[in-house]
Amino acid sequence: MVQRAAWWKRAVVRRGARRPAGPALAVLLAGALVVAGLGARDGVAEQNPGPDRADTPAAARRSVVYPTRTMGTYADVIIVTDDSAATAPAARRAHAVFSRLDSLMSNWTSTSEVARLNRVAAQGPTTVQPEVAKVIEVSMRLWRESEGAFDITVEPLVRLWGFLGGPKRVPAEAEMKAAFQLVGAQRVHFDADTRTLRFDQEGVKIDLGGIAKGYAVDEAARSLKADGVTDALVDLTGNMFALGHPADSDHWRIGIRDPRDRMRYFARVHLDPGQGISTSGKYEQFVAQGGRTYGHIIDPRTGWPAEGLISVTVIAPTALDCDAWDTPLFVLGPVDARRKAKEREDVAAVLVQPGAGVDTVWVEAPLKDRFTLEPAARQLFCVKFF
Ligand code: ADP
Ligand code: MG
């Protein structure tokens, strides 16, 4: 529909790479990356040949990236603006939303609200801070709707494998068994009306790492909107929400990262105004041992890292829905994830199933017209619609 803009540029800075401070013109993404309307940074961008930007009538407005560090990773607030100084305070307030939610929901520090809940909720009922209560409420609903595949009580297992502060390792069978005893959201008693939480048993702990980023992205977008920003993209390491659209197009073009890291992204999808997207992949955090890799998403039904898929991308009406569903679809594996995604009107999924030589990309039918495999990826992926 909309042509690739002549000055279209692509950029990605790898996770962990040092990034310059202050507004700049490219984007870091872990699971997905913005591939349109953005310029270069850190010398890793490629520029397509073509006429100069000045040829584009809308050149006065462009996507300005306001980067920050939060939640142990990078985040970008991208605002379409013709005056980057004027929009800087709105970007700073959106960054502040990330800090606020990090201090509430971080599973890495001992000072967060979640850490406090994990210390006291087995001793008796405790009142939960309102925003954390909201996320716990959604998590408990998701546990039921995902047939137990999404379960915030995986914390003891996530910690045991070293995915919460390390060191990462394959645990011994006995340790696995002991941690697994503590897993199961039926051990969590949460009353949303009174915001009261209680755990059944000492040692039960929750981890909101599979959903908190999505909530944070929606809240940051809400803050931007309240500040009068009409066109922006909030990107918290691959969890994104589109407010409006870029200056040169009626949608955002998002690259989906190659789960095997052979190229920057293997496919692109269109993201319309008012939509979220997120990707969960095995490449983000894993333990490798004995020729096998174990990812950071745990199957709460077996206690073992989930197998069967190497990447799950979800497009949905909110970033919360996206982050919420990418994790359980990953757990459910290729067959059940397709069934579940089809069953849910609000969720559109792209699943990557590993194969010998060629991986299968399962693209949900409603995404057919907005999904494009990169030419360089054609030998490596086989696309199937479902
Ligand atoms: P990201 O890829 O951005 O880290 P994900 O949405 O993929 O986030 O969630 C992964 C995180 O979710 C893990 O690091 C862990 O904290 C938590 N987690 C792992 N397995 C599950 C599960 N089955 N249900 C809920 N949360 C999980
Ligand atoms: Mg998630």
For the cut 60, the answer to whether the pLDDT of residue 35 exceeds it is: yes
In the predicted structure, residue 318 carries a pLDDT above the cut 70: yes
Phi, psi angles (nearest 5°) of residue 296: -90, 5
Predicted local confidence at residue 273, as pLDDT: 98
Answer yes or no: is the C-beta of 29 below 6 A from any ligand 1 atom.
Answer: no
Specify the higher pLDDT residue, 333 or 288.
333
Q: Is the pLDDT of residue 43 over 80?
A: no
What per-residue confidence (pLDDT) applies to 285? Answer: 73
Q: Are 268 and 374 in contact (CB under 8 A)?
A: yes
User: CA dist 135 to 210, 297, 336, Å?
Assistant: 11, 18, 25
Q: What is the predicted pLDDT for the residue at 39?
A: 39
Q: What is the position in ligand 1's atom list of the atom closest to the CA of 150?
A: 24
Q: Does any ligand 1 atom lie closer than 6 A to the CB of residue 207?
A: yes
Q: Please state the rounded mean pLDDT for residues 198-205.
A: 97
Residue 121 pLDDT level (bands cut at 50, 70, 90):
very high
What is the average pLDDT value for the chain, to the nearest integer? 87
Q: What is the DSSP letter of 286?
A: E
Would you say residue 24 has pLDDT above 50?
A: no
Q: Do the bridges between strand 381-385 and strand 359-363 make them parallel or antiparallel, or are there none, so unpaired? A: parallel
Mean pLDDT of 163-173: 89
Q: How far is CA 258 from CA 165, 201, 293, 297, in A?
A: 25, 41, 16, 18
Nearest to 250 by CA among 234, 271, 235: 271
* More confidently predicted of 232 and 20: 232
What gap in Å lies between CA 37 and CA 201, rounded to an integer? 51
Distance CA 336, CA 342 (A): 10
d(CA 81, CA 175): 53
Whether 346 shows a pLDDT value over 90: the answer reads yes
Evaluate if residue 5 carries a pLDDT over 90: no
What pLDDT is recorded for position 166? 80
At 155 the pLDDT is 97
Of residues 292 and 3, more confidently modeled: 292
pLDDT above 60 (res 361): yes
Q: Provide the pLDDT for residue 47.
A: 30
Residue nearest to atom 3 of ligand 1 (CA): 280
The secondary structure of residue 240, as a DSSP letter, is E
- 298 in contact with ligand 1, CB cutoff 6 A: yes
pLDDT at residue 11 above 80?
Answer: no
Q: What is the pLDDT of residue 72?
A: 84
- From atom 1 of ligand 1, which residue's Cα is the shortest distance away? 280
Q: What is the CA radius of gyration of the chain?
A: 21
- Determine the Cα–Cα distance for residues 134 and 215; give it in Å rounded to an integer: 9
If you ran DSSP here, which 8-state letter would residue 61 be given?
S
Q: How far apart are CA 262 and CA 355, in angstroms?
A: 15
284 lines ligand 1 (CB under 6 A): yes
Atom number, ligand 1, closest to the C-alpha of residue 151: 24
Atom 27 (ligand 1) nearest CA: 210
| 277, two tokens | 């997207």
Using the predicted structure, report yes or no on whether residue 71 has a pLDDT greater than 90. no
> Which residues, in sequence order, are bridge partners of residue 349?
314
Pairwise CA distance, residues 167 & 145, whole Å: 33
How far apart (Å, rounded) are the C-alpha atoms in residues 224 and 91?
A: 7
Q: Which two tokens stand for residue 334?
A: 């290729």
Higher pLDDT, 120 or 29: 120
